[in-house]
Structure 1
Amino acid sequence: MNKTILGLNQQENLILVDKLNGLLANFQIYYQNLRGLHWNIKGKNFFELHVKFEEFYTDSQVKIDDIAERILTLQGKPLHTFLDYINNSSVLVGKGISNDIEAVELVVNSLSELLKIERDILKISDEANDEGTNSMMSDFIAEQEKTIWMLNSWLGR
């Protein structure tokens, strides 16, 4: 069995790099959605949501960097073009959204999609004994589940 320099199975490692690149692409779409929501939000909840969307995109920037650095740690190459992001993402692109409810629903739906991807990576990283990726996914999942709960509470659900 061939091992990487980190002691991980090479084949499992390649799968994890591919999955992490998919997560990276989806986070980039999510990030850009948040920028658009931050810029374009209107209405009575403007001040609250303008700040909240900035908080979310700032957090996403950190996660994007963490994901890319994890890919590099696993000796992979992170995707880095907009074309790659679009071709490797399932998070919906939100264009021209200025309504508060529609904006928050986009964030909830995007986070739900990210959770699916992260849970898939968590399962694979656990089976591969990749504690670094496993820990990162666990942290992302716990935080995003809480954010979904809070946003759903804001939506009155």
Structure 2
Amino acid sequence: MNKTILGLDKQETAKLVTELNGLLANFQIYYQNLRGLHWNIKGKNFFQLHEKFEEFYTDSQIKIDEIAERILTLQGKPLHTFTDYLENATVAIGKNISNDVEAVDLVVNSLSELLKNERLILDLSDKADDEGTNSMMSDFIAEQEKTIWMLNSWLGK
């Protein structure tokens, strides 16, 4: 039988699991970047950005869990070591960033990278008739596009 217990094609599901693990790795790097930005931000926008970065990392924690659980639902194994994350992530690592503009730019660029992953997964999940993954990616994409718009507005772009 070429179908999973969910009725999805096994080969297409395996591709989805691989891509979801890549997204998981990217979200873990994004999450850790946000923690660092939250801790290290300085300047006149400290209070505003300190709170915003906490909002973002709290949301990312939820998404990380949702992605890992989706991988498990698809009968895959979620990546779970820092080595795995570093080997599979494409989101840039931000280190010792305390400048407000540099910090917000990192978040925008990270979200843009996440969107690339999510759109690929959306395409694969659509072809696989995987409505669960498809719905999750659609929700992530809509939210992150709006966040990019808002952050770019803050940057004056």
Q: Tell me which amino acid in the other structure corresponds to 2:15.
A: I
Match of 2:6 in 1: 6
Q: Distance in 1 between matches of 2:92 and 2:51?
A: 22
Aligned-pair CA distance for 1:98 = 0.1
Q: Tell me which amino acid in the other structure corresponds to 2:90.
A: S
Gaps of 5+ in 1: none
Match of 1:127 in 2: 127
Match of 1:105 in 2: 105
Aligned-pair CA distance for 1:123 = 0.2
Gaps of 5+ in 2: none
Trace 1:27-106 onto structure 2 (pairs within 5 A).
27-106=27-106
Q: Tell me which amino acid in the other structure corresponds to 2:33.
A: N
Aligned-pair CA distance for 1:129 = 0.1
Q: Tell me which amino acid in the other structure corresponds to 2:53.
A: F
Match of 1:16 in 2: 16
Q: Distance in 2 between matches of 1:99 and 1:124?
A: 38
Q: RMSD between aligned alpha carbons?
A: 0.5
Aligned-pair CA distance for 1:117 = 0.4
TM, length-normalised to structure 2 = 0.99
Q: Distance in 2 between matches of 1:76 and 1:128?
A: 15
Aligned-pair CA distance for 1:30 = 0.1
Q: Distance in 2 between matches of 1:116 and 1:25?
A: 14
Q: Distance in 1 between matches of 2:9 and 2:141?
A: 25
Q: Distance in 2 between matches of 1:64 and 1:108?
A: 18
Aligned-pair CA distance for 1:72 = 0.2
Q: Distance in 2 between matches of 1:90 and 1:72?
A: 22
Q: Distance in 1 between matches of 2:14 and 2:122?
A: 15
| 1:54-80 per-position Cα deviation (integer Å, ceiling 9, x unaligned) | 000000000000000000000000000
1:149 aligns with 2:149: yes
